[in-house]
């Protein structure tokens, strides 16, 4: 069985460090809750080189401008911790939040075609951030694009200082 299709290679819990989370708007908090729920429901996640397999628990935090992925097994035994600089994400996160604000405003007052245009831009930026995350974790954590996409949403929430 390949690593990607092994049902053990998945996340069963994701926790965001409360000290790392800025006070978000209701829209941001909703995005966080949906991303965590969707991530737990369906994901493919495997730390490279871990032959014992999962399922895994993930704790995300920001420490000294670094994104920390603390990965443990279901029983709490540590697997590995990865730290990534947030610098490569700063621009896309800033742009993503600007367009999200425009999107949420548009939902309240814009035409459907205006909302669709803004949403296409929002999804494009989200995909750019997702690809950056996949590239930065290459050789460290194996995951599919949808899993990385939901993780990028959570990184945005951690980075947001509403």
Name the one residue in this structure whose structure tokens are 């708007």: 25
Q: Divide the 162 residues of the chain into consecutive groups of 10 and give the mean pLDDT of each group.
A: 64 86 70 85 93 91 90 94 92 88 88 90 92 95 93 79 48
pLDDT of residue 63: 87
Asked if 129 contacts 96 with a C-beta cutoff of 8 angstroms, the reply is yes
**Antiparallel, parallel or unpaired: β 45-47 and 141-143:** antiparallel
* Cis status, amide bond into 55, omega within 30 of 0: yes
Query: How far apart (Å, rounded) are the C-alpha atoms in residues 28 and 131?
Result: 21
| 122-125 long-range contacts, CB within 8 A, separation 24+ | 122/96, 125/92, 125/95, 125/96, 125/99
pLDDT of residue 23: 62
pLDDT of residue 1: 39
In DSSP terms, which residues pair with 66 in a beta bridge? 63, 85
C-alpha closest to that of 21 among 61, 54, 49 = 61
pLDDT of residue 59: 95
Copy the structure tokens of residue 59: 């704790």
Query: How far apart (Å, rounded) are the C-alpha atoms in residues 63 and 66?
Result: 5
pLDDT of residue 7: 74
Query: Following DSSP, what letter does each residue of 8-69 receive, concatenated?
Result: TSSEEEEEE-TTT-----HHHHHHHHHHHHHHHHS--EEETT-TT---EEEEEEEETTEEEE
pLDDT of residue 124: 92
C-alpha atoms less than 13 angstroms from C-alpha of 102 in its C-beta half-sphere: 16
């Amino acid at each position: 069985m390949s690593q990607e299709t092994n049902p053990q290679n998945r996340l069963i819990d994701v926790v965001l460090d409360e000290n790392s989370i800025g006070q978000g708007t209701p829209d941001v908090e909703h995005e966080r809750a949906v991303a965590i729920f969707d991530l737990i429901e369906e994901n493919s996640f495997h730390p490279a080189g871990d032959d014992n397999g999962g399922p895994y628990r993930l704790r995300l935090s920001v420490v000294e401008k670094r994104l920390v992925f603390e990965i443990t097994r279901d029983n709490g035994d540590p697997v590995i911790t990865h730290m990534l600089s947030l610098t490569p994400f700063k621009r896309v996160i800033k742009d993503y939040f600007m367009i999200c604000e425009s999107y949420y405003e548009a939902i309240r007052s814009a035409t459907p075609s205006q909302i669709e245009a803004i949403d296409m831009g929002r999804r494009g930026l989200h995909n750019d951030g997702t690809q950056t995350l996949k590239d930065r974790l290459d050789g460290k954590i194996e995951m599919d694009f949808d899993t990385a996409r939901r993780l990028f949403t959570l990184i945005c929430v951690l980075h947001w200082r509403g």
